[in-house]
Structures are given as C-alpha cells and as structure tokens.
Amino acid sequence: MKIIRSVILEIVTMSFVFSIHAQGTFQNLNFESANPGTTFSFGVPVSSALPGWTVTIGGVQQTDVGVNTFSTGAPAVSLIAPGGPVPAIDGNYSVFLTGSTAVSSISQSGLIPSGMESLFFDAQQGTGGGGNGTLSLMVGNQTVPITPVETESGYTVYGANISAWAGDPEQLTFSASEATSGLNNWTLDDISFSPTATPEPNTLALIVMGGAAFAVRQWRKRG
C-alpha cells in the first residue's frame, strides 16, 4: 500500500504541474468561454456559443447552433447553458451532440503540447434519451480509440492515447455518429491533455488514474 500511495502522490503532483501549461494553443476546452447571450434560443452564432470551435453537420460547416435546444430528429449541435432542461456536466456549459441521419461534430486545430500522453474528457451518452450510436475522436484524419477510465455520477471520464502527436499541430474532432435508430445523443465537457498514460484495465492503473483524474478536475475548477 505504501508503494501505491507513493505512485498516486507522484502522478497527482505531476498531473497538476503539467496541467497548468498543458493545453497548448487550444482554447475553450471546458466550454466555459461561451457567451450565448440568451438561453433557450436557436440561431446563436458558433463564435459566441463555442468560441474556438468549428461545428459541422453531415460534413457541412455550420454558422449557428442552439442554446438549451434539443433535436427531436435532425442531427444537431447545442450548447447546454444555465437554466436549461438538463445541467452541464461541469461548470456552466457543456456541448450537446446529436447524431441521427448524419454525423454531428465539433473540431478545433491547435498545437498539442509536447510530453502529453493522453487526452481526457467527460461525456454522457443518451441525455434525454437517444443512446443509439457512438462518440468518436479524431486527431487529424485518424480515428483514435477512446477508453472509459472512470465512472462518475452522471458521466464517464474517457481517455485516448495521443502521444504520437505530442508537439504537433493537429485538428481534434469529436463526433456523434449516425444513429442506429432514432437519435445518438452525447454531452461533452472538460477536455484536457495530460502527461499521464491512458490506463490499462487493471486495479493499480485504475487507482493511479483515479488520483490523476482528481488532480486534473481540481485544476479545472481553479481555472
């Protein structure tokens, strides 16, 4: 147990230190830079609702998104804001992706910081129903496998190995796939790079990852 505690302490300390300057040139990875103006609205400019991000639906770039609006059938991207029917995963804002007859995506290009091993993010499938599909991550034009690493109340922390692109300028794309039936709904929040490797599914790794994830969450709340 002393060894495990020492490893956890070292990982937590490293994660906190590296996270302070670990986002490269990417911005608004926790979506808290949103300035939607009014809630429960259609046609809010992407530049106001999701600063730094590009929105595409069915491969077509969008200029507007909804705020606290949820699709009943069409693919869509919406900002979850205070006062809406469902809460954000963390803080005031999250992103809501709906895939149905087409894929809905958000993308951003930037410099992935050197020394980063993983990309972690929070996500919840099926908010308001409609868990009929997958969420995918692409770095550049390559799909990167994502792994659930920690289950929290109302969402899951996922990790992906992005070490091959550390130090490179790349585009990150999160996509809700076409639905196998009905809708494929995902809520997304708190994207962060980390020097911690995405854990293998064994007990020690999960314990260590839990400590690292806790450190990253504490840093996010301070940011």
Cα angle 147, 106, 166; round to 5: 55
* pLDDT at position 206: 47
- DSSP per-residue letters across 73-121: SS-EEEEE-TTSSS--SSSS-EEEEEESSS-EEEEEEEEPPTT--EEEE
**Backbone CA torsion sign across 177, 112, 118, 154:** negative
* pLDDT at position 128: 76
* pLDDT at position 211: 53
* pLDDT at position 188: 98
The CATH number given to whatever domain includes residue 70 is: 2.60.120.260
Count the domains in the chain. Answer: 1
* pLDDT at position 129: 83
Asked if residue 125 has pLDDT above 90, the reply is: yes
Which residue range forms the structural domain that includes residue 182?
Answer: 2-222
Q: Percent of the chain, pLDDT > 70?
A: 79
Residues with Cβ within 8 Å of 58's Cβ and at least 6 positions away in sequence, in order, are: 75, 101, 102, 103
**Mean pLDDT on 99-104:** 98
Asked if residue 5 has pLDDT above 90, the reply is: no
Asked if residue 93 has pLDDT above 90, the reply is: yes
137, 210 in Cβ contact below 8 A? Answer: no
Rounded CA separation 213/197 (Å): 11
- What's 29's DSSP letter? T
**What tens digit of pLDDT does each residue of 34-43 get?**
999 887 899 9
Asked if residue 184 has pLDDT above 50, the reply is: yes
42 to 68, 112, 182: CA distances (angstroms) = 9, 33, 22
* pLDDT at position 15: 44
**Backbone CA torsion sign across 160, 218, 116, 187:** positive
* pLDDT at position 98: 97
52, 93 in Cβ contact below 8 A? Answer: no
**Mean pLDDT on 190-198:** 95
- DSSP per-residue letters across 134-200: -EEEEETTEEE--EEEEEETTEEEEEEE-GGGTTSEEEEEEEEPPPSSS-EEEEEEEEEEESSPPPP
Asked if residue 69 has pLDDT above 80, the reply is: yes
Record the tokens describing residue 206, joined without a space.
């999960």
Record the tokens describing residue 74, joined without a space.
């069409």
* pLDDT at position 201: 53
Record the tokens describing residue 159, joined without a space.
């990790």
**Backbone CA torsion sign across 206, 208, 211, 215:** negative
Rounded CA separation 197/210 (Å): 12
